[in-house]
Amino acid sequence: MTLVIGTDEAGYGPNLGPLVVAATAWRIAAAVTDAEALLTDAISEVDSVVATHRGRTRSALWADSKQIFRGGAGLGALEQGVATGLLLTVNQLPTTWTALAESIGPISPRGGCRGEWQTLLPISVPSEADAAECLVLATVVRGVLARHGVSLERVVCRGIYPEEFNALLDTGMNKSDILSAATLDLAATLRASTPNEAAIIWCDRHGGRKRYGGLVSHHFGAALVRPLEETPDRSAYLVPACDLTATNACRIEFCVGGEARAPVALASMTAKYVRELAMHAFNTFWSSRLPGLRPTAGYPSDAIRWRRDAAAAIEQEQLAEAALWRRA
């Protein structure tokens, strides 16, 4: 058996709203050398079955969130993929933000949903995807994966909101450090749940960083991290088992375009989904304070426009800069 973990983020670039990091854990009935091929075959059949269900020639359930979700197109496809994934790991679909957090982890601001984040709590999910259809898809997909010896074990997520993000910057970390630390913390937690299995961890490349050996050593508590490759497209490392003759080593890769792999794709979609829900709550709060205020996705140029337009409401709320605006 091989444990395969995929990680990704949403909201790395914006100045408003949270940075969200997610990870998925899969168990593959194959040796490390064969795990990716077996998973690829399983996902190919999943896509064919999903396409038939949707009445299309080809349709991916899980793909890079940038392909699944496009601004203005609604949350339906993104939400359906995430909900189907969650149904493979939990007994029932979460229906509220609080239940979603209980299923996947700390997605709310540290200190609770107060101020501009208080409108997270009344959110009902799924908001656009049909829950009954997600249940049907989950049943079908579970059967396809099982035939290939594949199971989706867990989906986990963490949100880092502006106040916490800025506090981490104040400790001397940079933006890439924050992303890498959050990502490897999630991956290490999933890895620790089955330490006796060989593991592969796939991460998307973090900004322009090319060397991750020190971070991997720190987060996995491993002194002997062996670099396998450090190129512009891929950085790969081997974390040996405590017993160097054992087979449960862990290979960690940071790749450009990692979202082409289903474990990374579902992590990408989950992170994007959580961030979109958070930004919906953000815009709901501020538009209630200033009717007519145009919503924002939080990316730099529009974030500057939004902060200018919302200046009066921000002043009235007496919100500290560090709690609103994520520094670069």
Calpha distance 269→34 (Å, rounded)? 26
Q: Which residues contact 28 (CB under 8 A, 6 or more apart)?
A: 1, 2, 3, 4, 35, 38, 39, 149, 150
Picking from 254, 314, 258, 264, the residue whose alpha carbon sits closest to that of residue 290 is 314
Per-residue pLDDT at 243: 44
pLDDT tens for residues 229-266? 999 889 999 988 654 445 678 999 998 887 889 999 99
Confidence check: pLDDT of 269 > 80: yes
Q: Which residues pair with 49 in a beta bridge?
A: none
Which span out of 123-132, 165-174, 225-234, 237-246 was modeled with the highest average pLDDT?
165-174
Q: Which of 101, 104, 96 is nearest to 124 (CA)?
A: 96
What pLDDT is recorded for position 14?
96
Mean pLDDT of the region 38-50: 94
pLDDT above 90 as % of the chain: 71
- Chain-wide mean pLDDT for the chain? 91
For range 72-91, the mean pLDDT: 89
SS (H, E, C) the chain: CEEEEEEEEECCCCCCCCEEEEEEEEEECCCHHHHHHHHHHHHHHHHHHHHHHHCCCCCCCCCCHHHHCCCCCCCHHHHHHHHHHHHCCCCCCCCEHHHHHHHHCCCCCCCCCCHHHHHHCCCECCCCCCHHHHHHHHHHHHHHHHHCCEEEEEEEEEEECHHHHHHHHHCCCCHHHHHHHHHHHHHHHHHHCCCCCEEEEEEECCCCCCCCHHHHHHHCCCCCCEEEEECCCEEEEEECCCCCCCCCCEEEEEECCHHHCHHHHHHHHHHHHHHHHHHHHHHHHHHHHCCCCCCCCCCHHHHHHHHHHCHHHHHHHCCCHHHHCCCC
Residues 6+ apart with CB under 8 A from 82: 155, 266, 269, 270, 273
> Cα(47)–Cα(265) distance, rounded to whole angstroms?
13
Q: For 157-167, how does the pLDDT look when each residue is reduced to its tens digit (9 = 90+)?
A: 999 999 999 99
Q: What is the per-residue pLDDT for 247?
A: 61
Please give the structure tokens belonging to residue 166: 């800025």
Q: Is the pLDDT of residue 17 over 60?
A: yes
Model pLDDT, residue 259: 82
The model's pTM is 0.94
pLDDT value at 217 more than 50: yes
Tokens representing 249 are: 């080593």
- Could you tell me the pLDDT band of residue 180, with boundaries at 50, 70 and 90? very high
| Superfamily classification of domain 2-324 | Ribonuclease H-like superfamily/Ribonuclease H (3.30.420.10)
pLDDT of residue 273: 96
Q: The tokens of 265 are what?
A: 């794709």
pLDDT at position 244? 43
| Total Cβ atoms within 10 A of residue 309 | 16
Averaged pLDDT, 38-48: 94
Percent of the chain with pLDDT over 70: 96
CA distance between the termini of the chain:
41
Q: What is the pLDDT of residue 20?
A: 98
Predicted local distance difference test score (pLDDT) of residue 251 = 92
Mean pLDDT for 180-204 is 91
The answer, yes or no, to whether residue 139 has pLDDT greater than 90, is yes
pLDDT > 90? residue 145: yes
Lowest-confidence range among 64-78, 186-200, 259-273?
A: 64-78
Check pLDDT > 90 for residue 26.
yes
